[in-house]
Copies of this chain bind each other. A is one copy, B any other.
Amino acid sequence: VVTYRVQAETASIDARARAIANEQSVELPTSAIDDPYVLNEIVGSVVGISDAGRNVFDVEIALASATMPPEPGQLCNMLFGNTSLLDDVTLHDVAFPNAYLTAFGGPTIGLTGLRRWLKAPERGLTATALKPQGLRSSALASIAHAAAAGGIDIIKDDHGLADQAYSPYEERVAACLSAVAKANAASGGTSIYAPSLSGSLDQLRQQVDVLRCHGGRMALIAPMVVGLPAFHTIAREASDIAFLAHPSLAGAQRIAAPLLLGRMFRMLGADATIFPNYGGRFSYSQDVCQAIARHARMSFGGLAATLPAPAGGMSLDRVDEILNAYGRDCLLLIGGSLLADRAHITKTARAFTDRVAAHGR
Contact = CB atoms under 8 A, between A and B. Distances in A.
Contacts of A139: 35
Interface string A80-96: 11101111100000000
Interface string A260-286: 000000000000000010000111100
A87 B28 CA distance: 33
Dominant SS among interface residues on chain A: loop
Nearest to A257: B85
Given A202-B201, A335-B28, A222 B38 contact: no
Given A222-B81, A248-B82, A282-B85, A200 B233 contact: yes
How many copies make up the complex? 2
Best-surrounded residue of A78, A284, A339 (most CB of chain B within 10 A): A78
Contact of A162 (B25, B64, B71): B71
Contacts of A87: 252-253, 283
A251 B85 contact: yes
B135 A35 contact: yes
Interface in A77-131: 77-78, 80-82, 84-88, 129, 131
Interface in A318-361: 335-336, 339-342
A301 interface: no
A25 B38 CA distance: 50
Contacts of A25: 132-133, 160
Contacts of A202: 201, 233
Would you list the 7 A-B pairs with minimal beta carbon distance, nearest first? A227-B227, A42-B134, A81-B248, A26-B132, A38-B134, A87-B252, A201-B201
